Chain A
């Protein structure tokens, strides 16, 4: 999965940093109205740890006060949440392309095998497989996708499955414990349980992620998590509260542009609910990959080009397919050509080609240099108005 980079709108030091310290301070001991706690002083925070945990952290840093009330009940809540999440989280295996890993996670949202996960290159594999908690394997197919939210709906041919009821993320407050269930590094196989992490909801913010010249389509609320979920294969996994209710879906890997660190976040469950509603109402683009929100200027697609734009960090501008009768076809371009330059500007990567094409005016003529086999050819292409 290419990693979108976060720009300006996301500001980790403020939203994540301040709230991340919440569990270290007991809400029972903290003065009322400190402002750190959005839920007010009346609510007691429970530490779902074993007998020794609060004591342990207490010694860890003496200046830090810890939550009281850790007890067996809290401990068993954590285990209940884990059991519920385990049964409803699936392992996905698709095609590995270059550096793209061929695995991921998803959550069951209906008893008849509807699964929601995040968009990923590996889902495009015709041999996409889904492994349930009990080890059963099913072929999965994409039934809907939502470019805006980077979500994909899968269907497997099964029945009577446990699934997540979709509720609200708002009942989880900043500072509450949450559990993540996913299959990072595909460490679990077959009927082996997926991996579990525990942490807190450390904040809510709005993500505005961008990817090079293109807008990263998702702009919306996210849940910031004080636990590590930005790991290969985790996205699409479940984030649940201590009652095992789904509160979020682990999002696609995102790197902070300033800090160069991975963002640990989840899409709120409301985004998933809306996606399912829209999919049900037929408001979404059909399974064929839909074009992303339109950037300014022309795109290679407008010229009838489909680029081989998957794989590693450096993606040379290879042409995968040329639409018949398109400007590209008229210019003599063919599948497997490597575009070396457009109008004298070198196009070392797919992204550079997109940027260069975006700067072209409709109805203009431009010289292309392409490599075909061992030959280097010069071609002339005349652009047209993009079809609406």
Chain B
């Protein structure tokens, strides 16, 4: 376990002279890894550093996204085809007393970049360590007796199966000099999970807030203040509500509430459960943005961002086993029925390879339609066009960050069309499944939602067939998507997909199981 884990651990340096640095861990074979924000902060100007691996070699390192509030940064190493990645554990399943191991480069001792290993136990969970303003806040973090010293920052905390449970970043040093005194702190990997899409997109990600405060009333937790125009107000939370769960976690003390809140990204859906007038209510809020207050303009590297969109679409195709390159047009049958009544109506949708998916939406005037005027062809065509035929990723496309759909963290790809129409596709971060597609405009970017009905899918690699469409008219529609059939197939008129053999007959573009 140690030998394999050690291969994923990175000794990070700001320059070849190794004047400052820390540690990191690779979490994806393409060289993407995690470290602390405070480790990469010294070279944020260039975003270029170096990462040493246990093979003794120094690789170029580029900073992708940063999370200054949560003290996390993502980087990517280059110079090798494949890197050894450490698997991620579920840090909600940890318990106090469990043995854990930290790896990294304390005091930058490793001349040959082989990481130092220290072991200990989990001394405490759900600890809160204040930051500076909104910066470097460690909420809901893991406290370990494992030696964490300067230079360990950004390195992985492993469970004894070699899975990453956290990113080591802090220790209590007060009165005892800057060396380990038995209290180290790690950011949980489950906190980081929600930020992964934004970090991978190369963005500065921010944390969220509900804009409400709570007070303990006996063993219960009462909402005692709500800010005007805050997320809490918008979602309908009221003074005097007794909160029981936030984001699926029970909250019993103000500390627990603050812990749960502080680990959420901005603009993130949070389910709140509370008692009001003796009955249990549940609502979903979207968190407000907590700005970092850093004097830092962090521009998105669009070239990297677009490359990531390309990779995302490619992974989705591989997953859904879509062979799309050689069909000029496809058609499929939708069976559409309102969710509140029986009976469906069949609609045949034709999608052409050459049509701009956005054009069909012109007539919609997004968000002002009534129920009878749903243009199923245009909507479905706009959603599946770029998934059937890989689009040119150019200006207007952007990987805008993350979202959570039915408990899955998703990467959100956005396309802004010339006429203000916005299309979004949300892919599961873990397995690239398509979870949701939305259509909207600048005012209401997600006015129409097509959500994959997860309960009705078997997700072993296929185009999702059952969808739920929610629109501004307030009705919910169930949509069953039939197989795509290809109308005509002019050979070689489309760029061929290099990884797929094109010999077989292109009878189906998107197979259903």
Q: Would you call B371 an interface residue if the criterion is a C-beta within 8 Å of the partner chain's C-beta atoms?
A: no
Closest chain B residue, CB of each to CB of A55: B1
Q: How far is the CA of A262 from the CA of B182 in the complex (A)?
A: 12
B2 touches A56 (CB 8 A): yes
Q: Which of B19-27, B95-103, B204-212, B373-381 contacts A (4 or more CB under 8 A)?
A: B95-103
Number of interface residues of A (CB under 8 A): 36
Q: Which residues does chain B contribute within 8 Å of A195, judged by CB atoms?
A: 123-124, 143, 145, 183
Produce 1/0 per residue, A223-260, CB < 8 A to B: 00001111110000000000000000000000000000
Q: Would you call B487 an interface residue if the criterion is a C-beta within 8 Å of the partner chain's C-beta atoms?
A: no
Interface of B is mostly: loop
Q: Which of B290-318 contact A (CB under 8 A)?
A: none
Q: Which residues does chain B contribute within 8 Å of A187, judged by CB atoms?
A: 124, 127, 129, 143, 172, 183
Q: Which of A180-228 contact B (CB under 8 A)?
A: 184-185, 187-198, 227-228
B124 touches A232 (CB 8 A): no
Q: Would you call B120 an interface residue if the criterion is a C-beta within 8 Å of the partner chain's C-beta atoms?
A: yes
Closest 9 A-B residue pairs measured CB to CB? A228-B182, A52-B160, A50-B160, A195-B123, A79-B97, A82-B97, A59-B2, A197-B145, A185-B172
Minimum C-beta distance from A220 to chain B (A): 25
Q: Would you call A32 an interface residue if the criterion is a C-beta within 8 Å of the partner chain's C-beta atoms?
A: no
| Contact count band on B | 20 to 34
Q: Which of B70-121 contact A (CB under 8 A)?
A: 95-99, 101, 117, 119-121
Q: Would you call A51 an interface residue if the criterion is a C-beta within 8 Å of the partner chain's C-beta atoms?
A: yes
Q: Which residues does chain B contribute within 8 Å of A135, judged by CB atoms?
A: 253
Q: Which residues does chain B contribute within 8 Å of A232, judged by CB atoms?
A: 174-175
Minimum C-beta distance from A58 to chain B (A): 9
Q: Which residues does chain B contribute within 8 Å of A189, judged by CB atoms?
A: 255
Q: Which of A292-310 contact B (CB under 8 A)?
A: none
A227/B127 contact (C-beta < 8 A), A185-B172, A232-B175 known: no
With contacts defined as CB atoms under 8 Å apart, how many contacts are there between chain A and chain B in the complex?
Answer: 99
Partner of B124, one of A78, A190, A192, A198: A192
Q: Count chain A CB atoms within 10 A of each CB in B2, B98, B123, B160 and give the residue with the most.
A: B123
Partner of B126, one of A49, A52, A75, A192: A192
Q: How far is the CA of A341 from the CA of B123 in the complex (A)?
A: 50
B182 touches A56 (CB 8 A): no
Q: Which residues does chain A contribute within 8 Å of B159, judged by CB atoms?
A: 50
Q: Which residues does chain B contribute within 8 Å of A188, judged by CB atoms?
A: 124, 127
B119 touches A56 (CB 8 A): yes
A53/B126 contact (C-beta < 8 A), A79-B95, A82-B97, A196-B96 known: no
Q: Which residues does chain A contribute within 8 Å of B395, judged by CB atoms?
A: none
B183 touches A184 (CB 8 A): yes
A231 touches B119 (CB 8 A): no
Partner of B3, one of A51, A59, A192, A228: A59
Q: How far is the CA of A193 from the CA of B96 in the complex (A)?
A: 9
